[in-house]
């Protein structure tokens, strides 16, 4: 079992992923996404990707070792985006959203199921207005012993 101190990071990343999906789901390609709404959706997504990268850095190393993924690349992406505002490649952002966030979501749900106090913490999380997109996690409670 993983320490419950990881829960806040995992819940936050999962919430952010759902928000990104909401911000991007109506666009057919990266150009449409980039230019829509005076770049509001793009800028919101970029900001949330920074949040993911920051919280990934805080997740315990033993989780990252047990669930092999491109964790370092996520952290590097965060640094690249936050330090190079004018140079952010909209295609790269689109690619991350379309091809990588689902993988992160799947891994983090598996981690949650192996984290101390996941069941008891979930009710508090779901009562929070901040985590309004995580109600789907209720279905995973039954899988936790």
Collect the ranges in the chain with pLDDT lower than 50: 145
Rounded to whole angstroms, what are the CA distances from 108 to 6, 28, 33, 67? Answer: 10, 27, 26, 9
Q: Look up the pTM and report it.
A: 0.92
Residue 20 domain boundaries: 4-141
19: phi then psi, degrees, rounded to nearest 5: -65, -40
Per-residue pLDDT at 75 = 87
User: Total domain count for the chain?
Assistant: 1
Q: What is the pLDDT of residues 54-75, one digit of tens each?
A: 999 999 999 999 999 999 999 8
What is the DSSP code string of 40-101?
A: HHHHHHHHHHHHHHHHHHHS-HHHHHHS-S-HHHHHHHHHHHHH-GGG--HHHHHHHHHHTH
Distance between CA 14 and CA 133 in Å, rounded? 8
């Amino acid at each position: 079992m993983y320490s419950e101190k990881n829960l806040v990071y995992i819940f936050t990343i999962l919430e952010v992923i759902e928000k990104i999906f909401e911000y991007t789901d109506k666009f057919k390609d990266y150009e449409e996404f980039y230019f829509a709404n005076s770049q509001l959706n793009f800028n919101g997504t970029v900001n949330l990707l920074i949040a993911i990268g920051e919280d990934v850095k805080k997740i315990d190393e033993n989780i990252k070792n047990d669930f092999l993924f491109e964790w370092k690349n996520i952290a590097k992406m965060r640094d690249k985006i936050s330090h190079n505002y004018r140079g952010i490649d909209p295609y790269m952002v689109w690619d991350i959203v379309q091809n990588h966030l689902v993988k992160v979501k799947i891994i983090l749900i598996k981690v949650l199921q192996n984290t101390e106090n996941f069941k008891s913490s979930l009710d508090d999380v779901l009562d929070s207005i901040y985590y309004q997109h995580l109600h789907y996690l209720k279905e995973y409670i039954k899988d936790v012993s």
